[in-house]
Structure 1
Amino acid sequence: MSFDNVWLNANLATMGDDALGLIEDGAIASKNGRIAWVGPRTGLPAHAAPVTDCGGAWILPGLVDCHTHLVFGGNRAAEFEQRLGGATYEEIARAGGGILSTMRATRAASEAQLVQAALPRLDALLREGVTTVEVKSGYGLEPETELRQLRAARALGAQRPVSIVTSLLAAHAVPPEYKGRQGEYARHVAEDIIPRAAAEHLADAVDAFFDSIGFTAEETALVFAAAQRHGLPVKLHADQLTDCGGAALAAAHGALSADHLERSNSAGIAAMARTGTVAVLLPGATLILRETHFPPIAAMREHGCRMALSTDMNPGSSPALSLLLMLNLGCTLFRMTVPEALLGVTRHAAAALGLGDRGVLAEGLRCDLALYRIQRPAELCYWLGGNPCIGRVVAGIAA
């Protein structure tokens, strides 16, 4: 058969089923950036393609970090100190810190400055085997900076071998110019910012923050209706600070994902399971905010709601540079099983972005691979601070 590249002497975690789909002594072949063959090495067809001997490494689908705020100006280390002193996330936000603090730094940064600041953060993810990263805006809160953030995100994908998926999160907070006029700002997002982002093909989805310090159900519906008019799928920050029905709201709008969900109720989780909305869990924020409410994992299992894991990399509540660390935190904090956690950064994370062409090692899908020097896949969830990644392949090409 005609292949472009072949990887031999490897063990595979195909992620094709809930037991990880393990194949020992396996092989993978690529053609035109796609997986052309995968299975036990003994069944590999005859070929003349270049071969990579993996030396017994494990191969997983390239990891997917499906919820990040990677592009921003400045940092919020001072607020981290405030929280250590007893201030809450909500108190800091209401005093003009939090998202608005990063808004000011991001508005002051050029596109080039945003790209240069984000590249080291992106590189940290790539070193761990990540091949797809979602990047949100949401720190501009006005058209020019929101679009600048999205352009910077696109530029990252041009400078590194990685797939960048963008989400417009202009409905993240109310900017100072609209203080006391939250509904008017939501209309501005719907009528002005979303159409511009769509016209310039800068956004792959639209996100919103629905919570006690976020937008109302009516305002979120207005934003989502505008997204859908422009052919953009939607996502939702939901139920992080209060159980305000965010899980059910996301399901009602057919959202790709609902993210956070620390205080979601079982009925909302059941609604998500029915619509296929993925639950994106963010243990980095749980750790940094010293949160005592954990996502309702038992309800997600009971109702069959798919669970993804992500860094939530952002300057305030989750300055996390490691998706592998999130695997450990998902298991230790949230009590996820190893298969649940690993599916959460591959197959289910891809589903949270609406990407059906990756996250599984299967013929016809993108040949995005992550190679690890480990004895068993559980080690990816076990080690704290280690990085056993020895290689990445993006669309069939070693990166």
Structure 2
Amino acid sequence: MKADRLLIDCHAATMTEGGAPYGVVEDAAVAIADGRIAWIGPRAGMPAMEAARTDRLDGRWITPGLIDCHTHLVFGGDRSGEFEQRLGGATYEEIARAGGGIVSSVKATRAASEEALFASAMSRLEGLKASGVTTVEIKSGYGLDRDSELKMLRVARRIGREGGVRVRTSYLGLHAVPPEHRDDRRAYVDKAVDDILPEAHAQGLVDAVDAYCEPIAFSTEEVSRLFDKARALGLPVKLHADQLSDGGGAALAARYRALSADHIEHATEAGVAAMAAAGVAAVLLPGAYLMLRETRTPPIDLLRRHGVRMAVATDCNPGTSPVASMTAALNLACVQFGLTPEEALAGATREAARALGLSEQVGTLEVGKAADLAIWTIARPAELAYWLGKPLLFRRITAGVDGEARA
């Protein structure tokens, strides 16, 4: 058997289901050919191998490259001032209704050049990459007019070409009502649905369609209009659902067989059951929960009981989750929400791939899948959710190609 590269003297947490915890293979070998996994298993069972390069990893662990399946990585400015306001007692809703929140990021994003947006997003991406991320979802939603939304999505595509990660884009046109449409929100919904989305799709900038369904954002009826248009264009959908209140978002996501319903702190058992029946993944965002100092956690026990798949993501954004580390998100998911370290790591690999519709390509270490790997200097996989701030990554590999090497 021929390979471009062979990794030995290592252990693998394959994250496949039905076997050992974490899908562990002790004393593993991984062969890579043409950017894909050509063979993986116990080294003792490896077939005769002719490899152009062999890497000895000194007992390190290999996992699938981590997947951040919910980010707002591209934006202008920051909202550290609002952080101070919240610490002083102001609520997120009060800040938003006073013209802050998402609308303040819209102003900064519209004013920023495409080059400036790319540079600032790349600086945040470095944190994600340093925590083992090889795939990132990036949303629009801070432009809220045709030119600015397209600008954001172009920057996201450029990150996918130049940033050393796989990128999936989401059009988040229904994120907030922009200031110029405050007195005529219907006109903005018309524009977001009938003008901006079709143009973004025509330019090849959209992989999925998202919306923010909350009383301070958009109703289920408005979101349904957007999702109907997405369906007509052949695009999958996902939803910011039931974060601040029970607005029926989980059930709406289920009705459209969305890839995921994200946040869902206030989802009811009926909503969770509907998600399970429709195969909708839950994306848990513990960074936003932390930063907003929320007290109601997502219904983890209900999700487990109904068999809803749970992904974990950073929600990296300027206002409510300035988190740029996936391993930090794993820790927070365990400490705040009660996930086990294995559930958290599955949430950042196998289940995150499911939440992006990429299960056939990435998320587990299996023959035929992309050779997107993270190599860690750890003694056991649970360390990835245990440490806060300790550098653990040794190397990232995307499609068989080395990324950054670290100590």
Q: 1:9 is paired with a residue of what secondary structure?
A: strand
Of residues 361, 365, 368 in structure 1, which corresponds to 2:369? 365
Identify which of 163, 185, 188 aligns with 1:160: 163
Alignment correspondent of 2:153: 150
SS in 2 for 1:325: helix
Match of 1:339 in 2: 342
In 1, the alpha carbon distance for the partners of 2:122 and 2:59 equals 31
Q: Which of the residues 62, 67, 72 maps onto 1:69?
A: 72
Q: Which whole-Å deviations, capped at 9, do the CAs of 1:313-363 have from their partners, x for residues lacking one?
A: 000000001110011100000000111101000000011000021100001
Deviation, 1:182, is 2.1
SS of aligned partner of 1:170: strand
3-state DSSP class of the match of 2:8? Answer: strand
Partner of 1:267: 270
How far 1:189 moved relative to its partner? Answer: 1.0
For residues 188 and 267 of structure 2, what CA distance do their matches in structure 1 show? 26
d(CA) in 1 for partners of 2:215, 2:62: 42
Q: Provide the rounded CA distance (Å) in 2 between the counterparts of 1:142 and 1:221.
A: 20
- In 2: Cα distance, 1:9 partner to 1:98 partner: 49
Q: Equivalent residue for 1:318?
A: 321
1:154-186 Cα shifts (integer Å, max 9, x gaps): 111222211011000011000111113223321
The amino acid across from 2:127 in the alignment is A
| Conserved? CA contact 2:376–2:395, under 8 Å | yes
**Aligned residue type for 1:17:** E
- Structure 1 residue 308: Cα displacement: 0.4
**CA distance in structure 2 between the aligned counterparts of 1:15 and 1:222, rounded to whole angstroms:** 37
Q: Give the Cα separation in 2 of the matches to 1:98 and 1:43.
A: 56
Give the partner amino acid of 2:6: V
Partner of 2:402: 398
Instruction: Say whether the 8 Å CA contact 2:6–2:31 is kept in structure 1.
Output: yes
Answer whether contact 2:37 2:371 (CA < 8 A) is retained: yes
2:378 paired residue among 374, 391, 397: 374
Q: Classify the secondary structure of the residue corresponding to 1:249.
A: helix
Matched, 1:42 2:44: yes
Cα RMSD (Å) of the superposition? 0.8
| Counterpart AA for 2:394 | I
> Which residue is equivalent to 2:221?
218
Q: Output the CA distance in 2 between the equivalents of 1:35 and 1:124.
A: 26
**Other-structure match for 1:136:** 139
Gaps of 5+ in 1: none
Q: Give every structure 1 segment of 4 or more consecutive aligned residues whose post-TM-superposition deviation is greater than 6 Å.
A: none
Q: Secondary structure at the match of 2:59?
A: coil
Where 1:20 maps in the other structure, the secondary structure is helix
The AA in structure 1 aligned to 2:15 is M
Structure 2 distance, partners of 1:130, 1:78, is: 29
Alpha-carbon separation, structure 1, partners of 2:126 and 2:4:
27
| Contact 1:187–1:223 under 8 Å retained in 2 | no
1:16 aligns with 2:16: yes
TM-score normalised over the length of structure 1: 0.99
Alpha-carbon separation, structure 1, partners of 2:69 and 2:90: 29
Q: Distance in 1 between matches of 2:14 and 2:348?
A: 13
Deviation of the 1:212 alpha carbon? 1.4
Q: How does 1:77-226 map to 2 (within 5 A)?
A: 77-226=80-229
Q: Shift of residue 24 of structure 1? A: 0.6
Q: TM-score normalized by structure 2?
A: 0.97
Partner of 1:26: 28
The residue that corresponds to 2:279 in the other structure is 276
In 1, Cα distance between the equivalents of 2:161 and 2:348?
Answer: 23
Unaligned ranges ≥5, structure 2 = none
- Counterpart of 1:352? 355
For 1:255 and 1:337, the matched residues in 2 are separated by 26
Residue type of the alignment partner of 1:366: A
Instruction: Tell me, yes or no, if the aligned pair for 1:153 and 1:164 is still in contact at 8 Å.
Output: yes
**Amino acid aligned to 2:332:** L
Measured in 1, the distance between the counterparts of 2:293 and 2:163 equals: 34
CA distance in structure 2 between the partners assigned to 1:127 and 1:33 by the alignment? 21
Within 2, Cα distance between the matches of 1:127 and 1:383? 14
Q: Deviations over 1:98-130 (max 9, x none)?
A: 000000000000110100111110011111110
Amino acid at match of 1:274: A
What is the CA–CA distance in structure 2 between the aligned matches of 1:26 and 1:171, rounded to whole Å? 46
Aligned residue type for 1:77: S
Q: What amino acid is aligned across from residue 281 of structure 1 in structure 2?
A: L
Q: Contact 2:132–2:326 at 8 Å: present in 1 too?
A: no
Q: C-alpha separation between the residues in 1 aligned to 2:108 and 2:350?
A: 35
Match of 1:244 among 244, 247, 258: 247
Q: Once the 2 structures are TM-superposed, how far is the Cα of residue 387 of structure 1 from its aligned partner?
A: 2.1
Which residue type is aligned with residue 312 of structure 2?
A: L
Q: Say which SS state the counterpart of residue 55 (structure 1) adopts.
A: strand
| Aligned amino acid, residue 161 of structure 1 | G
Contact 2:395 2:402 in 1 (8 A): yes
1:235/1:257 contact within 8 Å kept: yes
SS at match of 1:376: coil
Shift of 1:52: 0.8
